[in-house]
Structure 1
Amino acid sequence: MELFIIFCIAFGGFVFGYQVGRNSLKKKVKNFVPKTQWKEADLE
């Protein structure tokens, strides 16, 4: 049971870190890419 809890915490931390990393990456891309292109890319 303890291993399962540790796995859940580790997996949750990984997912959270991945989401934060993706959001910061998106903001960086937004600065480079014109807004019209960004909207098209966001729909995919």
Structure 2
Amino acid sequence: MARYSPADPFARLAEPGQVVTEWPTLETADPVEPSTDGLLDMAEA
């Protein structure tokens, strides 16, 4: 595929200042466990 696509002047490796080395702590889980009744109510709405 790379042989047949046109050259992209913007495709290059990132400069060292553009590379992220630290990430913020993300809250990726919801600590609230929904109840069965609550889920049923949402499904029926």
TM-score, scaled relative to structure 1: 0.31
* Larger-gyration structure (1/2): 2
TM-score by length of 2: 0.31
Structure in which a larger fraction of residues adopt helix:
1
